[in-house]
Structures are given as structure tokens and as C-alpha cells.
Amino acid sequence: MSTRSLSCAIREALLTGEAKEKVFAARTIARDWRMERLEWQFECAMPDRPAWPRDLHLAAPGKMPKRGKGGSEKGRIALWHALAHIEFVAIDLALDMAGRFGEQRGPQFMSDFLSVAADEAMHFALLDRKLRSLGSCYGALPVHDGLWESAARTAHDVKARLAIVPMVLEARGLDVTPATLERIKRQGDENGARILQRILDDEIRHVAIGTRHFHETCRDDDENPQKLWRNLVRRYFSGGLKPPFNDSARSMAGLSRAFYAGLA
Ligand SMILES: [Fe+2]
Ligand SMILES: [Fe+2]
């Protein structure tokens, strides 16, 4: 029986920079956890920043390559590259959620967020393969830092982290993905459409997991979830929420309009 520590395994995956290795590390942890091969030990602290590929070029959000809407080769690559980066950062966000707050929130929380990390690793792998089929790969274009930055501000507080990462950032994915999916379908890219549909389905589950744990944490601390969520979003999310919202996908994830209606 192995005695690998859960926290040290998660820390190691966060500090793995090379994309394929991070994917492998995240999926291995999720599987090892399910098979009870990891010890409930928390002696390893989570790093302030995860490692990313060494040659990845970080650019300011305004300086990003244009994602094409018309379907030019360059624009298509920019779109899939931007999506691949979102999924790559999502691996770290899920691992960090599990490693940083799992001890405090318990085994179900750990299982849920490690399963999210494994999903994100799969999403990234699908998108990287898509990029390769277009003659590109992850790292070929600059990426931005914004996604990790908006999470890093909430490293001290599990409720703030849940409010921002699954319930704002991943929920935003539910709002914008259907339009991209429709466009990809119109361009006749069936393989691309299948990838986006799978991601959309999984992301509903991710938002549901985050929302459920947010409610549980509020219950434990005797707080009003809607009121607290709105305060946390105002404090930690500078962008403001952008309609239109995908109300049906959001409500499938348990995120009712009572949360976000007043904030747009
Ligand atoms: Fe994802
Ligand atoms: Fe996700």
C-alpha cells in the first residue's frame, strides 16, 4: 500500500509546468484518490502560483490574438488556443481548490474537486489535440493571466473562492459556450462541436458542485448564501457580471436568478 500524501501529490501537480505532464498528474491524483491510494495528509502547502509551460508567452488581456468569428484558419486557431488555455488554468484552479480547502471541507469536497480537475485535464487534452489537427499546439500563441489572478485574490477564504471560480468564472462559460458551439456547427466542424458540447455538459456539473459546496459552507457558518455571494462578487470580481445569462444551464447547476439578477 502506498503512503503518498494527498497534499504533496496535489502540490506536485500544481508545480508541474509541462502541459502533458500536468494533465497526467491531475488524472493520476483523481484516480489514486478514488482507489484510496492517497493518505489524508496536509503537510504540503499549496504554492502561490502554479507552474505553467516554460515557453508560454503571457500577454496583457488587450494584446491577445483576435479570435476569429468568420472561420479563417488563423482565427480558428486563436479560438481553440484561447479555450485550451482556459481549460489548462482550470486544471490548476480545481487542484488548488482541493489542496487548499479540502482539509477544512472534508472528503466529499476533495472527491468533487479532484473529479473536476480530471475533467479539466480531459478538456485540455481534447483541445490540444484539436489544435494539433489544425497544425498548431498549446503554447503557439500568447495567453493571458487573468483567470488565475482573479482566483488568487481569494486564496484565504473558501467561500470567496467558491463564489468566484465555479459560480462566476465557470458559470460564465455556460453563458458564452452555446453561441460558440452554434458558430462551430455552422462552419461544419462536427468534431469541434462535439468537443464543445462535452465541455458544456461537464461545466454544468462543475458549477453545480461549486454551488452545492457554497451552500453547505454557508449553512455551516449560518450565512445567507445569496447575500454573501453578492458581497463576495462585488469585493473580489472586478469585471462585473455580463448578461445575457444562460438561465436554463445555470438553473440546472442550481444557480438561480436570485443569486445574480441584481448584479448585472
Ligand atoms: Fe473545463
Ligand atoms: Fe470546469
Strand-pair partners of 39: 5
Q: Considering the domain boundaries, does residue 55 fall inside one?
A: no
**What's the grid cell of residue 133?**
489537427
pLDDT of residue 73: 87
Give which of 188, 154, 156 is closest to 168, Cα–Cα: 154
What would the pLDDT profile of 47-103 be if each residue is shown by its tens digit? 999 999 999 999 877 777 777 666 788 999 999 999 999 999 999 999 999 999 999
Do 29 and 109 belong together in one domain? yes
Helix (H) or strand (E) holding 38: strand 38-39
In this structure, is residue 91 part of a structural domain? yes
Cα-to-centroid distance, 201 and ligand 1 (Å): 10
Q: Is 92 within a domain?
A: yes
pLDDT in the model for residue 257? 92
Q: Do both 118 and 138 map to the same domain?
A: yes
What is the residue-wise DSSP string for 172-190? HHHHHHHHHHHHHHHTT-H
Question: Is 137 in the same domain as 157?
Answer: no
Determine the residue type at 112.
Answer: D
- What's the pLDDT score for residue 72? 86
Domain co-membership, 197 together with 105: no
Q: Say whether pLDDT at 162 is over 60.
A: yes
For residue 176, tell me if it sits in a domain. yes
Pairing assessment for the beta strands 38-39 and 4-5 based on DSSP bridges: parallel
In the predicted structure, residue 1 carries a pLDDT above the cut 60: no
pTM: 0.96
| Ligand index nearest the alpha carbon of residue 113 | 2
Mean pLDDT for the chain? 94
Kindly state whether residue 40 falls inside one of the protein's structural domains: yes
- The residue among 98, 120, 144 that closes a domain is 144
Q: How far apart are CA 13 and CA 164, in angstroms?
A: 22
Neighbours of 232 (CB within 10 A): 21
56 assigned to some structural domain = no
- Domain span at residue 177? 147-264
Q: Is the pLDDT of residue 19 over 90?
A: yes
Domain C-terminal end among 119, 144, 169: 144
Which of these, 99, 93, 112, 109, lies nearest to 216 by C-alpha position? 109
State whether 159 and 136 are in the same domain: no
**CB under 8 Å to 124, separation ≥6 — which residues?**
19, 23, 84, 87, 88, 90, 91, 138
Instruction: Kindly state the average pLDDT of the residues 156-178.
Output: 97
Q: What is the pLDDT of residue 70?
A: 61
Calculate Rg over the CA atoms of the chain.
18
Residues with CB in 5 Å of ion ligand 2 = 90, 170, 203, 206
CB-based contact 127:83 (threshold 8 Å): yes
User: Do 182 and 260 lie in a common domain?
Assistant: yes
The SS3 call for residue 99 is helix
Distance (angstroms) between ligand 2 centre and the Cα of 94 equals 8
The lowest-confidence range among 44-48, 68-72, 222-226 is: 68-72
Same domain, 157 and 135: no
The Å distance, Cα 1 to ligand 2 centre, comes to 32
Instruction: Tell me the C-alpha distance between 152 and 32, whole Å.
Output: 27
Residue 4 DSSP SS3: strand
- Number of structural domains, the chain? 2
Q: Are residues 166 and 263 in the same domain?
A: yes
Q: Using the 3D structure, point to which of 144, 175, 208 is the last residue of a domain.
A: 144
- Measured in Å, residue 238 CA sits from the centre of ligand 2 at 21
Is there a contact between 124 and 80 (Cβ–Cβ < 8 Å)? no
